[in-house]
């Protein structure tokens, strides 16, 4: 029997890389039939680069300061990513807004993980805003990447409870744990070809998902 070909992934990072690590762990424990063929960082100090090196994954630093414009950077990034012929490109804490020049050849192949229940709290400092607004729910979202910041079609969310005793550190940790569950889970759906995007609607196993994507409630 021919083995199912595994999903070829490129991961883009800027920092700690704990989501990258969750994906590496899922692959090495055979819970995710995928291969990370490249980790690309736009920050030379990203700890995620060390994580990738330890896992034997090829890494590249592609730094915006080496390019004359955002367009030039996006085109260089596009060409670099294309050399790996990825089935899926995962943004995992990649702090750079990608323009059409990058996105165009990879339509429907780029996912992002965001630390809020989108469409609430796009952008930065989501945990601080949730605490300031005294919300009782928070979480993370995985969505297709489009040129609109944090606004592409949603695939899944993991919801955490915010309690009276929570602070910035504790909700950050809860959201991170939820992320480390959610990203490998969603990537697994891609590996099994269970996810489809059709006219802004995401479906799983042929069933159209709600606008929030599939929601997981993480017990406190
Ligand atoms: C995560 O919270 C993710 O949602 C956001 O950036 C953070 C990256 O964390 N996009 P890490 O680098 O994976 O630890």
Residue nearest to atom 8 of ligand 1 (CA): 93
Q: Residue 53 — very low, low, confident or very high, per pLDDT cuts 50/70/90?
A: very high
Are residues 36 and 10 in contact, defined by beta-carbon separation less than 8 angstroms? Answer: yes
Q: Does the pLDDT value for residue 3 go beyond 60?
A: no
Q: Does the pLDDT value for residue 5 go beyond 70?
A: no
Q: Is the CB of 113 under 6 A from ligand 1?
A: yes
pLDDT score at 1: 53
Q: Average model confidence (pLDDT) for the chain?
A: 96
Instruction: Look at residue 102 and give its three-state secondary structure.
Output: helix
Per cent of the chain over pLDDT 70 is 98
Residue nearest to atom 1 of ligand 1 (CA): 93
Q: Does the pLDDT value for residue 4 go beyond 70?
A: no
Q: Does the pLDDT value for residue 200 go beyond 60?
A: yes
pLDDT score at 190: 98
Mutate to test the pocket of ligand 1, among 19, 42, 90, 130 (most ligand atoms within 8 A of CB): 19
Q: Is the CB of 34 under 6 A from ligand 1?
A: no
**Mean pLDDT over residues 170-184, rounded?**
98
Q: Is the CB of 184 under 6 A from ligand 1?
A: no
Q: Does the pLDDT value for residue 74 go beyond 80?
A: yes
Spell out a b/e string for 126-165, using b for 16 or more CB atoms within 10 Å of the CB, else e. Answer: bbeebeeeeeeebbbbbbbbbeeebebbbbbbbbbebeee
């Amino acid at each position: 029997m021919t083995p199912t070909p595994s999903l070829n992934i490129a991961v883009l990072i800027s920092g700690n890389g704990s989501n990258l690590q969750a994906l590496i762990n899922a692959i090495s424990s055979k819970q995710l039939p995928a291969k990370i063929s490249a980790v690309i960082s736009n920050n030379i100090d990203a700890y995620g680069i060390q994580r990738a090196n330890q896992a034997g994954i090829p890494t590249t630093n592609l730094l915006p300061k080496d390019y004359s414009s955002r367009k030039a950077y996006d085109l260089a990034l596009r060409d670099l990513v294309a050399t790996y012929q990825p089935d899926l490109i995962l943004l995992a804490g990649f702090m750079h807004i990608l323009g059409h020049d990058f996105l165009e050849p990879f339509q429907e192949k780029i996912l992002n993980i965001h630390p809020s229940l989108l469409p609430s709290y796009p952008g930065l400092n989501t945990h601080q805003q949730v605490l300031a607004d005294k919300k009782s729910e928070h979480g993370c979202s995985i969505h297709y990447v489009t040129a609109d910041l944090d606004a592409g079609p949603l695939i899944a969310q993991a919801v955490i409870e915010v309690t009276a005793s929570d602070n910035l550190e504790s909700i950050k940790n809860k959201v991170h744990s939820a992320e480390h569950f959610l990203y490998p889970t969603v990537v697994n759906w891609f590996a099994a070809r269970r996810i489809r995007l059709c006219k802004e609607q995401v479906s799983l196993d042929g069933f159209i998902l709600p606008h929030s994507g599939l929601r997981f409630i993480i017990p406190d």
